[in-house]
């Protein structure tokens, strides 16, 4: 995978990721297809919106459908009939959010949430399975801890992540697949700096900031980016894992992040919240009951081209799955337009102006 930076405005930048499944303009937002599906959204809508890359989860796919099924299909692209690029996370985040697990230097034992059997995941196994999945970008298996854990525990997680990163790199052999390292370190500036330097020293095709967006404050997230980003090489893509709120995306882009993923747009969509340029809109609110207008007059997504707020309001009140689909489509369209607009404003050097305007519009019109 090649990456080229095409424009810079301060530290913010646009670029192109050349993947085996197409060129991806950055900054890019990746919808999350945990179980090889973006929940409630058929692929055709992702294509229409313009998404060229999605994220899927190694951990979930290893449990179901399992390695043998993915092998039989010749990889994840063919299994799920997705022709665009795919990034797979390593399973680290999911495994470490389980209550029943045991970590050793070799890997992690955990109880399958599906049938209770004991499963072992190691850096080698995670990398091998991601090679079978055939994703365009694979991630190293990392150790996630509570960002407020004891400093000694965070240091241990950083060191183990570094050891495992090395093992992942040694195991990785697929030339048509990029491998990204992951910077950990909780909310400690010192440990983030250490993790970033050592991860860069191992050398990866791209670098991710992991273990954030897990409950720390806005200021802490930004402070960690301020420490990590200057250490990451300019010529490699930088990915902030699990970040999907517009406000934080703006801060991350300003500091030089190129890639994002989050369940946020589809999750809030399924619960009746539409994302707009003026903030969030709760379609379940009674004010929309007989409203004949779309969510956003200026939005050209499938939902806004065809359906009124009143109809969407009705679908949510009757708990029709179509309502969840339509709001997920609108929110994913919004996110794509949002990162594209960021890209355009970086290119014409008006990013900071756009950031200011967007934030003031959102705070003025919050929660319609």
Q: Cα separations (Å) of 14 from 93, 234, 282, 323?
A: 28, 12, 33, 34
As a 3-state breakdown, the chain gives helix, strand, coil percent values, each rounded to 5, of 45, 20, 35
Q: How far is the CB of 327 from Zn ion (least distance, A)?
A: 9
Asked if 165 and 189 count as a contact pair (C-beta separation under 8 A), the reply is no
Select which of 205, 258, 261, 296 is catalytic.
Answer: 261
Contact 91, 57 (CB under 8 A): yes
CA 165/CA 176 separation, integer angstroms: 19
Q: Cβ closer to Zn ion: 175 or 298?
A: 298
* Residue closer to Zn ion (CB basis): 111 or 280: 280
Strand partners, 139: 180
Told to check if 304 binds Zn ion by CB under 5 A, we report yes
The conformation of residue 150, written as its DSSP 8-state character, comes to: -
CB of 181 to Zn ion, least distance (A): 37
Q: Is the dihedral of CA 120, 122, 125, 130 positive or negative?
A: positive
261 classed as catalytic: yes
Cβ-Cβ contacts under 8 Å for 314 (sequence gap 6 or more): none
Binder of Zn ion out of 232, 250, 299, 312 (CB under 5 A): 299
Give the 3-state secondary structure of residue 171: helix
Residue of 211, 128, 213 whose CA lies nearest to 171: 128
Q: Is 259 helix (H, G, I), strand (E, B) or coil?
A: strand
Span of 2-10, 45-53, 181-189, 296-304 interacting with Zn ion by CB under 5 A: 296-304
**Minimum gap (Å) between residue 135 Cβ and Zn ion:** 29
- 258 part of the active site: no
Site for Zn ion in 315-354 (CB under 5 A): 330
Minimum distance from residue 368 beta carbon to Zn ion (Å): 14
Query: For Zn ion, which is the closer residue by CB, 44 or 201?
Result: 44
Nearer Cβ to Zn ion (259/304): 304
The site that binds Zn ion (CB under 5 A) totals a number of residues, namely 5
Residue placing its CB nearer to Zn ion in the complex, 254 or 296: 296
Choose, from 68, 89, 226, 300, the residue flagged as catalytic: 89
**Least distance in angstroms from the C-beta of 339 to Zn ion:** 16
Half-sphere exposure of 150 (CA within 13 A, CB side): 3
Q: Toward Zn ion, which CB reaches closer, 49 or 53?
A: 49
Least separation in angstroms between residue 261's CB and Zn ion is 21
Q: What is the DSSP string of 49-69?
A: HT--EEEEEHHHHHHTT-HHH
Instruction: By CB under 5 A, name the one of 38, 137, 140, 301 that touches Zn ion.
Output: 301
Stretch of residues binding Zn ion (CB under 5 A), selected from 189-197, 234-242, 284-292, 302-310: 302-310
The residue written with tokens 């192109």 in the block is 16
Beta carbons within 8 Å of 62's beta carbon, 6+ residues apart: 91, 119, 121, 129
- List active site positions: 89, 261
Binding interface with Zn ion (CB under 5 A): 299, 301, 303-304, 330
């Amino acid at each position: 995978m090649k990456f080229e930076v095409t424009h810079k405005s301060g530290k913010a930048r646009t670029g192109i990721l050349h993947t085996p499944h197409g060129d991806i303009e950055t900054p890019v937002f990746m919808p999350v297809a945990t179980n090889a599906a973006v929940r409630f959204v058929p692929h055709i809508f992702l294509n229409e919106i313009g998404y060229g890359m999605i994220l899927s989860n190694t951990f979930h796919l290893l449990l179901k459908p399992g390695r043998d099924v993915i092998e039989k299909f010749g990889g994840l692209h063919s299994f799920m009939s997705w022709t665009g690029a795919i990034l797979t996370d390593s399973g680290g985040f999911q495994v470490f959010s389980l209550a029943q697990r045991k970590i050793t230097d070799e890997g992690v034992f955990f109880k399958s949430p599906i049938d209770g059997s004991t499963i072992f995941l190691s850096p080698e196994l995670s990398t091998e399975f991601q090679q079978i999945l055939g994703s365009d970008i694979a991630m190293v298996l990392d150790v996630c801890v509570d960002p407020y854990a004891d400093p000694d525990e965070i240091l241990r997680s950083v060191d183990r992540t570094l050891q495992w990163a090395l093992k992942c790199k040694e195991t990785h052999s697929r030339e048509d697949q990029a491998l990204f390292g992951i910077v950990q370190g909780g909310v400690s500036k010192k440990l983030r700096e250490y993790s970033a330097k050592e991860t860069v020293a191992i050398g990866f095709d791209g670098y991710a900031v992991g273990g954030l967006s897990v409950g720390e404050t806005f200021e802490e997230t930004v402070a960690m980016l301020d420490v990590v980003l200057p250490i990451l090489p300019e010529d490699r893509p930088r990915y902030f894992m699990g970040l999907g709120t517009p406000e934080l995306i703006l801060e991350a882009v300003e500091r030089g992040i190129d890639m994002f993923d989050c369940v946020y747009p589809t999750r809030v969509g399924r619960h009746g919240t539409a994302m707009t340029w003026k903030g969030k809109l709760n379609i379940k609110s009674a004010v929309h009951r007989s409203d004949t207008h779309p969510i956003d007059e200026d939005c050209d997504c499938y939902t806004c081209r065809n359906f009124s707020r009143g109809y969407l309001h009705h679908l949510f009140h009757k708990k029709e799955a179509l309502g969840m689909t339509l709001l997920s489509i609108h929110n994913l369209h919004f996110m794509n337009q949002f990162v594209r607009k960021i890209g355009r404003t970086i290119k014409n050097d008006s990013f900071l102006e756009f950031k200011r305007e967007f934030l003031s519009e959102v705070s003025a019109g919050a929660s319609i």
